[in-house]
Amino acid sequence: MLILDSNKISENEVTDRAVYDNRRKFMKTAAGIGIVAVSGLPLGQAQAKSNYSTEEKKTDFKDISTYCNFYEFGTGKSDPAQNAHSLMTSPWDVVVEGECANPGKYNLEDIIKQVSLEERIYRFRCVEGWSMVIPWMGFPLAELIKRMEPTSKAKYVYFETLLDRKNMPGVARPVLDWPYAEGLRMDEAMNPLTLMGTGIYGKDLLNQNGAPLRLVVPWKYGFKSIKSIVKIRFTETQPSTSWQKANKNEYGFYSNVNPEVSHPRWSQRRERRIGQFKKIKTQKFNGYAEQVASMYSEMDLKKFF
Amino acid sequence: MKIPEMIFNRVFRPILFVLLVLPALYYAWGFWQDNLGANPLEAIIRGLGDWALRILLLTLLISPLRRLLNWTQLLRMRRMLGLYAYFYVVLHLIGYLWFDQFFDWSEIWFDILERPFITVGMISVVLLTPLAITSTKGFIRRLGKRWKRLHTLIYPISMLAVLHFWWMAKLDKSEPLIYAVLLSILLAERLFRKYVK
């Protein structure tokens, strides 16, 4: 119990790297001898190490939390970290609607209670040509979807970000068609890699990273991983997304990471891993081909980019 | 308007010279101290580009300002400004070739062909180079009337430079728009003088 208590304390601290790595080491051991870790923090808590996690060097928390795209709080990379404190994340409800047996308004705490949170260390590739390695906390989106019991008509899942004109200074300008909207095909949404993120580095998500609930789709460009979700809708037809509406020639519905499909603004052949000097080669599906390539085997990915 | 020659040469010009080198020092220092944010290399490339464009517009401001204030001494600062603009353009280019492409020439060639904003950026640096080379007193004398004609290239170059920024911006065009408006004013003043007056 003593060990568990100290773990709990380190969870509650601002997790610096040493503490964090230490904690992870402990988690591995704990899992190995069959102890179920108990923690006071619901959202950021991980219970087991996932097989889907990468062993690559994690990006510094400082960089993850200061270099963000969250246009609702400004279009500059540092704007969200400066402005997102005004986001009200509690209480938080998610409205579920469309082609499913259990539509309604779900409180986030109730959602969290019924899922098992786990840590997933994923590569994160932005369409702008930079990437990070982020230790997310969260649960598979599939768990949530199963609970909503989508009907046979549900072919796509549509997501919407909060639109709060009072607390989101960025939405005063129509740079995107607010509210921010994204979507996945049902098989993509049900893929075991697809995560609903609730934390980073063992802590609750910071507002600028999309608190309290965001999507994480590691084989797609970052803008698909919609932040601060308030609405989920099951649809029969492909939903249109904010970036498609902004420029459909540059941002497709699928937006799978693909070094072979170049973008008028950025070559997608390489990426800058934040924290490293030299660029690295971009992998198809961001290195997750093994888990996801079969979903697209029939498709011309140059056409359906 | 006229400031005493001594002050103009010994104080005014040296101060301007020092001021214009500060942005380059800021990025060098910031890189050294690692306080340029999570993506310092991009911050350097973009920052140098910003300053190249700003100083280019300042260069274009000299003539109208001279006429407005009837201050002929200003013309003797124009070469320094123009060369500083070129200095930042070259640093911006080196930043791109090094920190963005790591001198991978085939990638750079693809980039020029594939990305319109890179294409116009490259065209403007190529066009700006002969202007920088011919900025010496000797060239001005030797080229005579042709010098003036050659240096009107600065107008299309500045338009390409703003276009380069405009096409680079992902979605939010507000910053390039500011430069576009400022440049339009500077160019419109010249057209107005040429055709209306």
- Which residues make beta-bridge pairs with A200? A136, A203
**Alpha carbons B124 and B109: distance in angstroms, whole number:** 16
Helix (H, G, I), strand (E, B), or coil: what is residue A135? strand
Q: Which domain holds residue B143?
A: 5-196
pLDDT number for residue A33 = 41
At A191, list the tokens: 């893929």
Per-residue pLDDT reduced to its tens digit, B137-196: 999 999 999 999 999 999 999 999 999 999 999 899 999 999 999 999 999 999 999 898
SS3 label, residue A232: strand
Mutate which of B170, B172, B173 to disrupt the A interface (most A C-beta within 10 Å)?
B170
Is A175's CB within 8 Å of B172's CB? yes
Tokens matching residue A47: 């219970």
Give A66's contacts in chain B (Cβ within 8 Å).
37-38
Q: Which of B42, B107, B172 sits opposite A267 (nearest CB)?
A: B107
Who's near A9: CB < 8 A, 6+ residues apart? Answer: none
The alpha-carbon gap from A76 to the nearest alpha carbon of chain B, in Å, equals 9
Q: Any CB–CB contact under 8 A between A63 and chain B?
A: yes
* pLDDT tier, A36 (very low <50, low <70, confident <90, very high otherwise): very low
Q: Find out whether A168 and A87 touch, Cβ atoms under 8 Å.
A: yes
Residue of chain B with shortest Cα separation from A170: B172
Q: Which amino acid is at B120?
A: V
Side chain identity at residue A288, one-letter code: Y
The residue in chain A having the minimum alpha-carbon distance to the alpha carbon of residue B173 is A175
A27 vs A21: CA distance, rounded Å? 10
Q: Tens digit of pLDDT for each residue in B59-83?
A: 999 999 999 999 999 988 999 999 9
What CATH architecture applies to the domain A46-295?
Alpha-Beta Complex (3.90)
Token pair for B146: 């042709």
The partner residue sitting opposite A264, judged by closest CB among B41, B116, B172, is B116
**CB contact, 8 Å: A276 with chain B?**
no
Residues of B with CB under 8 A from a CB of A: 37-39, 41-42, 102, 107, 110-111, 114-117, 167-168, 170-172, 174
Residues 6+ apart with CB under 8 A from A43: A112, A117, A137, A198, A199, A204, A205, A212
DSSP secondary-structure letter at A239? P
Domain positions in chain A are: 1-40, 46-295
Contact A219, A194 (CB under 8 A): no
Cα B29 to Cα B70: distance, rounded to the nearest angstrom: 39
Complex-level ipTM: 0.88
Residue B42 with chain A: CB contacts under 8 Å: 130, 272
Encode A98-120 in three state secondary structure.
ECECCCEEEEHHHHHHCCCCEEE
Q: Could you tell me the sign of the dihedral formed by the alpha carbons of A187, A188, A193, A196, in that order?
A: negative
Number of domains in chain B: 1
Q: Could you give the 3-state DSSP secondary structure of residue A122? A: strand
Cβ distance of B115 and A265 shorter than 8 Å: yes
pLDDT recorded at residue A18: 52
Task: Give yes or no for a contact between A198 and A121, defined as CB atoms under 8 angstroms apart.
Answer: no
Average pLDDT, chain A: 88
For chain B, the first-to-last Cα distance in angstroms comes to: 23
Which of the four pLDDT bands, split at 50, 70 and 90, describes residue A263?
Answer: confident
CA distances from B3 to B13, B62, B82 (A): 12, 16, 22
Which residues in chain A have their CB less than 8 angstroms from residue B115's CB? Answer: 264-267
Task: Please tell me the predicted confidence (pLDDT) of residue A264.
Answer: 79
Cα of A131 to nearest chain B Cα, Å: 10
Pairwise CA distance, residues B45 & B100, whole Å: 8
Instruction: For Cα atoms A269, A243, B108, give the angle at the middle one, nearest 5 degrees.
Output: 25
3-class DSSP state of A166 = coil
Which of A75, A247, A279 has its CB closest to that of B172? A75
- In the DSSP assignment, the letter for residue B133 is H
Facing B168 at nearest CB: one of A262, A265, A267: A265
